[in-house]
Amino acid sequence: MPAPSFYFPAPRTQKFCSQCGAALVIRIPPDDNRQRDVCENCGAIHYQNPRNVVGVLPVLDDTVLLCKRAIQPRYGKWTLPAGFMELSETTAQGAMRETQEEAGAQIELGPLYTVIDVPAVNQVHIFYLGKVLSPELHPGPESLEAGFFKESEIPWGDLAFRTVSSTLEHYFKDKPSGQFPTRHYDVLFPVGD
Amino acid sequence: MPAPSFYFPAPRTQKFCSQCGAALVIRIPPDDNRQRDVCENCGAIHYQNPRNVVGVLPVLDDTVLLCKRAIQPRYGKWTLPAGFMELSETTAQGAMRETQEEAGAQIELGPLYTVIDVPAVNQVHIFYLGKVLSPELHPGPESLEAGFFKESEIPWGDLAFRTVSSTLEHYFKDKPSGQFPTRHYDVLFPVGD
């Protein structure tokens, strides 16, 4: 079989059973109350659930670390290092991993800071505070560049996501008090202003 | 096609592509760094991610609401109302829904209280505090019974999960102060003591 000419993340729409390969039907399974993708051949029910995006707000002195995205969506926009949580890791481990992968930054992880529901895209975004241990950065392939920004230098009009801009806004509001309690809220329009 | 004799949640192990039905292979896709289930026929990459369990610690005066599980795992053990977060809902909406489904309780949702990583089962458990508005309960099919327990009446030896017992422990420790900040921690052994 020739290799596919391109690869893509499997979308939420499922047509075939991952267990036996039969065509799926949409129905409410026994003892359930909503429609699922169900295999009437082998009986497998293909539940789908929201995904977590985990990241860090990395701080060095009076600056924060941002990465310029080299991938879609929001190519060329600035973001905090973050990405999908993987199996077999904690939210903290995932947040550390993404910071390493996207910025090549060495950090000491701080407290859980923002927990943001984004139901429009079936995601929950979770950001930790982090202390950058060295100004040396090694941006990975998902970042065009990475750098440190004072509050007055943040490219507010060119941030990738509302979860990123709102986390930064909370940080600069909380900073004078030195208190950073966990903040939880919803973002209804992930890339809106 | 005759209906299957029983239905089951599709396990994490995937053999066939949900998009085209071809057999999957395990490989590292281009621009990635870990093994995925990949379709070499259509190019779909079948990522898998942890799931969120969302629930409530419902409070009525000096009691908390617990449900006795009518389902596996942990049949017959006591739990806080909680379940898998569904698509198109927030963690708060999911927590409210589970409380309605499992206990039939009317509540006013309070603050985000515990965020618990459970990497052994690829889950994050999220509990809110909630205020019970009426002592009337209508346990659903997933509960054998539901009831209100004072601290001295909690069946500590018969709780279903460590995320439940630790959330209750935090609550009774925080209660004298009247302050319930969001608490974040890991649970390594979900049903251990």
Does B193 score more than 60 pLDDT? no
- In degrees and rounded to multiples of 5, residue A86 shows phi and psi of -100, 165
Best probe of the B interface among A49, A71, A128, A170, by most B CBs < 10 A, is A49
Percent of the residues in chain A that have a pLDDT greater than 90, as a whole number: 94
Q: Does A34 touch chain B (CB under 8 A)?
A: yes
Higher pLDDT, A3 or A95: A95
Q: How confident is the model at residue A128 (pLDDT cuts 50, 70, 90)?
A: very high
Best probe of the B interface among A117, A126, A174, by most B CBs < 10 A, is A117
Helices (H), A22-161: 91-103
Number of neighbouring beta carbons within 10 Å of residue A69: 18
Mean pLDDT of the A141-153 span:
97
Q: How far is CA A114 from the centre of its chain?
A: 12
Three-state secondary-structure class, residue B134: coil
Going by C-alpha positions, the residue among B85, B74, B76, B101 that lies closest to residue B190 is B74
Distance (Å, whole) CA B171 – CA B190: 19
Tell me, what's the pLDDT at B192?
Answer: 59
Does B48 score more than 60 pLDDT? yes
Going by C-alpha positions, the residue among A88, A96, A76 that lies closest to residue A159 is A76
Mean pLDDT of the B84-107 span:
97
Which among B39, B42, B49 has the least Cβ separation from residue A87? Answer: B49
Q: In chain A, what is the greatest distance between 2 CA atoms, to the nearest angstrom?
A: 62
Put simply, the answer to whether A115 touches B115 (Cβ < 8 Å) is yes
| DSSP-derived secondary structure letter, A69 | E
Tell me, what's the pLDDT at A191?
Answer: 83
Phi-psi region of A74 (alpha: psi -120 to 50; beta: other; left: phi over 0): left
Window 96-125 of B, Cβ < 8 Å to A: 101, 111-112, 115, 117, 119, 122, 124
Does A28 score more than 90 pLDDT? yes
Does A2 score more than 80 pLDDT? no
Helices (H), chain A: 91-103, 162-174
C-alpha dihedral, B100 to B163 to B122 to A183, nearest 10°: 80
| Predicted confidence (pLDDT) per residue in A68-97, tens digit | 999 999 999 999 999 999 999 999 999 999
Mean pLDDT of chain A: 96
Model pTM score: 0.96
Tell me, what's the pLDDT at B25?
Answer: 97
Q: How long, in residues, is chain B?
A: 193
Mean pLDDT of the B9-35 span:
96
For tokens 């089962």, name the residue.
B121
Q: How far is CA A133 from the centre of its chain?
A: 23
Put simply, the answer to whether B47 touches A14 (Cβ < 8 Å) is no
Tell me, what's the pLDDT at A1?
Answer: 64
Domains of chain B, with CATH numbers?
A: 14-48 (2.20.70.10), 51-186 (3.90.79.10)
Tell me, what's the pLDDT at A31?
Answer: 86
Tell me, what's the pLDDT at A192?
Answer: 59
- Residues forming a β-bridge with B128: B56, B112
